[in-house]
Amino acid sequence: MHRHGYKGRKFGRERDQRRALMKGLADSLVKYEAITTTLPKAKEIVPYTEKLITKAKKGDLHNRRQVISGLQTLASAHKLVDELAPKMKGRNSGHLRIEKLGTRRGDRAEMAKVSFVDDLKEAPVAKAAAAKPASTKKAPTKKEGDK
């Protein structure tokens, strides 16, 4: 049989099982911000999650619902839209990286780590908010004796 026009990897699973696998891996990636998996799964999950991140950055109701349908849990979908996506506004694409880790001992499967390129622990909004209160002056308060 020819291979023309067949996109994506099958992973020896049927369609619904593959979709559940992709949702689960993307969900774990958003939840823990880095996952270790086999290299073919890592190569398949990166474009899937990149598309979800792009939708999360738009942030309107329709895109939020598409992100919810693309991830396994509601909590991780809200985390992606509300917490992670605003931190990645400066980047148009390439939000994720794949690092090869070598082979697994049991079956010599190539392993890889998928993680976000940007450091998501540091919030650019928090840095600006921390600098702002230091420059503002406090207004004098009224004392009980003043009228």
Dump pLDDT digits (tens) for 96-105: 999 999 999 9
H/E segment holding residue 137: none
Domain boundaries, the chain: 15-135
Give the pair of three-digit tokens for residue 48. 């899937």
Q: What is the mean pLDDT of residues 31-53?
A: 97
pLDDT tens track for 50-68: 999 999 999 999 999 999 9
Write down the pLDDT at residue 13: 96
pTM for the full predicted model: 0.80
Is residue 81 within 8 A of residue 59, CB to CB? The reply is: yes
Domain 15-135: assigned CATH number: 3.90.1030.10
Give the pair of three-digit tokens for residue 11. 């992973």
Write down the pLDDT at residue 43: 97
Instruction: State the chain's mean pLDDT as an integer.
Output: 88
Q: Percent of the chain beyond pLDDT 70?
A: 82
| For residue 28, pLDDT beyond 70 | yes
Rounded Cα–Cα distance for residues 50 and 83 (Å): 16
| For residue 128, pLDDT beyond 80 | no
Is residue 70 within 8 A of residue 26, CB to CB? The reply is: yes
